[in-house]
Amino acid sequence: MSRTDKQQLNLMFFYRQDRAGKKTNKSPLQCRIKIGTDQKDMPTDIHIAPEQWDTEKKILKENCQDYETLKKDIENVSEILRAYFIILSLELGTVSPEMLRNKFNGKAIDYDAKKGNPELQTILNILDEKITDFANEVKAAREREAKGEPAKKGKKGCSRYTLTQWKTTRNKMIEYLMYLKTGNIIITDPKIQKTAEEKEDYIKEGKAYDIPVTSITPAFSEDFLCYLMETRHEPIGIGAASKQVKNTKHVLKMAVKKKWLTVNPLEDFISAYEAIDVIPLEYWQVDILYEKKGLIERIERVRDGYIAQIFTGFAWQDIRALTPEHIIQDEIGDYYLCKKRGKTSEYEVVPILPPVAALIEKYKDDPYCKKRGVLFPIIANTNCNAYLKELAALCGIQRDLNTHLARHTFAHIMLNYGVPLEVVSKMLGHKSIRTSQRYCKVSLQLIRDKVKPVLTKMFTKCGKLKVILRGAMFKPAEFHTEYKAAI
């Protein structure tokens, strides 16, 4: 349920058997939009079979096929409608089910004179608009992908992961605005907001502290950055904090294009996030992690997941989603992991190296992995990074281990052992390597031909890491330029 000062929105999903297709027996899930006493029904793009829907409770059956995917799709539709309801309420005052349905379907709405008035445009309003528009882009991208159609030009990277980042920026902005107006440091935890209603209540509460975009000055960027890194209940690093300010700068650029601002007050902000130079782990440090014995189970499982990241280069969200279906075999029998990168939708193709093969075998019958259908027991990112700090202490490694460092380390190792830059770029799923080499076509054969010769340098015959003089083989400065280009 969503409520403004004047109106209340209720959404209900239901199944209609008479709309089912003859071949698939699936029907578009219907959504009933009710505002006050008015209501309109709207078909969604979520197709379900009758056995997947509980008609009495009007919810998905928890044991149905594709439950988690369908549940997320339904929540996404609900969240978009609720966000549009808030936006239209701010812009128009009164919203009808017909208006909300038209907004969701991209149809024209009759706006009054309030539309376009800069004095009524707020930072949260613009963030909401960005999120809803981006959610529609993600939805359209998934539909094109399902049909086998190529992504639209300039629309690559429209992923759920990026959508989540925009929602994170909105939540942190609400938190900061609350602090500005009350002086209180708000404790926010995504785990507390479990339902769509709880998340929406938090967003609605934040509207009371919203500010017009015309009131934002250049000092806003440094003040917001300082709050995120020093003042908030759980300070975040400069990279994560700069990302939030960078996103804010982006939406203010939108406001300039829509004539709500004459200039972007954050135009001169340069993100420190873009300049961070990550120093990868050396191979001897990886060897210490790999060979460490006597770890308790939770630390051992985190270590194993980290080793899998180091020798695949997959980001946390991608390695967590790896399933047996992502294992492919070439014409001569070599195995690879092949998956679309969540952030960019570019394919990552990585040979299954000995440590990774051993871990796949180790966890093939693991209850956690079997239940979720995944290859590795990767836990939540926050908990994972906390356990990695504990692992570093146990191994005597004076580094701040985190999941992204593993990806950098993979690139570092591959380049140091002579794998060409364009091959490393393909294995990392990057769109570009910032040179003319980005136009190279990289095939499985090229990856195999370039990676296979270095395996005897990296591993013994039994698959152990081969470490020579504990890191003496590396000359970081020599590879620094190439490494930064790959990352």
Strand order in the sheet with 335-340: 327-329, 335-340, 347-351
**pLDDT recorded at residue 441:** 38
CA distance 450 to 376: 26
Query: CB-hemisphere CA count at 13 Å for 477?
Result: 0
Write out the two tokens for 87.
């936006």
**pLDDT digits over 313-365, tens only?**
888 888 888 999 999 888 888 899 988 877 667 788 889 999 999 999 999 99
Question: What values do phi and psi take at 43, rounded to 5?
Answer: -75, 145
Q: At what angle do helices 123-146 and 196-207 cross, to 10 degrees?
A: 150
Helix H or strand E encompassing 68: helix 67-92
Mean pLDDT taken over the chain: 80
CA distance 57 to 292: 51
**pLDDT recorded at residue 10:** 92
The secondary structure of 177-214 as a DSSP string is HHHHHH-------TTT--SHHHHHHHHHHHHTT--BGG
Question: What values do phi and psi take at 233, rounded to 5?
Answer: -60, -30
Burial of 175 (0-12, 13-18, 19+ CB in 10 A): buried
Under a CB-based contact definition with an 8 Å cutoff, are residues 57 and 64 in contact? no
**pLDDT digits over 225-257, tens only?**
889 988 888 888 787 888 899 999 999 999 888
**pLDDT recorded at residue 360:** 94
**pLDDT recorded at residue 114:** 43
Burial of 324 (0-12, 13-18, 19+ CB in 10 A): exposed
CATH class name, domain 283-486 = mainly alpha
Q: What is the DSSP letter of 419?
A: -
CA distance 264 to 250: 9
Q: How long a stretch of residues is the chain?
A: 487
**pLDDT recorded at residue 5:** 58
Sign of CA dihedral 420, 425, 428, 434: positive
The secondary structure of 234-266 as a DSSP string is S---HHHHHHHHHHHHHHHHHHHHTTS-SS-TT
Helix H or strand E encompassing 222: helix 219-226
Which amino acid, 107? K
CA distance 413 to 82: 47
User: What parts of the chain have a pLDDT lower than 70?
Assistant: 1-6, 92-93, 109-120, 150-158, 187-196, 271-277, 343-344, 381-382, 431-447, 467-487
Around Cβ 397, how many Cβ atoms within 10 Å? Answer: 17
Q: What is the DSSP letter of 293?
A: -
Which amino acid, 331? E
Write out the two tokens for 233.
């209940």
Q: What is the DSSP letter of 144?
A: H
CA distance 176 to 248: 12
Query: CB-hemisphere CA count at 13 Å for 8?
Result: 5
Determine the 3-state secondary structure of 175 from DSSP. Answer: helix
CA distance 139 to 147: 13
Long-range contacts formed by 89-95: CB under 8 A, 24+ apart: 89/4, 89/6, 89/7, 90/120, 90/122, 90/125, 90/207, 91/115, 91/120, 91/125, 93/6, 94/6, 94/7, 95/7, 95/9, 95/35
Find the largest Cα–Cα distance for the chain: 77
Q: Where are the domains of the chain?
A: 1-115, 116-276, 283-486
User: Which residue, chain included where needed, has tokens 């650029």?
Assistant: 253
**pLDDT digits over 42-60, tens only?**
999 888 888 888 888 888 8
